[in-house]
Amino acid sequence: MLDVVLILDLSGSVEAEYELIMDFARALSLGLSIDSDSVRVGVVAFSDNASHVIQLDEFIQRQRNFIERLNFPHHRGETNIQVTITRTTSTYRFYRSML
């Protein structure tokens, strides 16, 4: 099984590139076999804080629903990479322990 976690910077510093970031996430997800049992995709969006927008086990075998869900708002704010790394690694370490 392949686990892919997209970490998307939605802070104010990338406001001009927001659509490009979202288009990339959608295109990448189209290239993955989310509809099979072999790939799970999660999404973490961050600016001032990190939020797990899509959990790894949320869209198993529903690629179309996953892509539709990639329409969350631009957060703006500061770029807080440290909180994002800490929260992401602790959350997805839990998923790895379940394998």
97 pLDDT more than 80? no
- If one compares 21 and 33, the residue with the highest pLDDT of the two is 21
Residue 46: its H or E element: strand 39-46
pLDDT tens digits for range 25-54: 888 888 887 767 777 888 888 888 777 677
What the block records as the tokens of 76 is 């703006």
The Cα 19–Cα 15 span in angstroms is 9
Q: Count structural domains, the chain.
A: 1
Grade residue 5 by pLDDT with cuts at 50, 70 and 90: confident
Q: Record the tokens describing residue 18, joined without a space.
A: 């927001």
Please state the pTM of the whole predicted model: 0.73
**CATH number of domain containing 22:** 3.40.50.410
- Tokens 């939605």 sit on residue: 10
Closest CA to 54 of 67, 38, 37: 67
Say which residues have a Cβ less than 8 Å from residue 4's Cβ, sequence separation at least 6: 32, 39, 40, 41, 42
HSE-CB for 79 with a 13 A CA cutoff? 9
| Containing structural domain, residue 11 | 2-97
For residue 4, pLDDT over 70 is answered with: yes
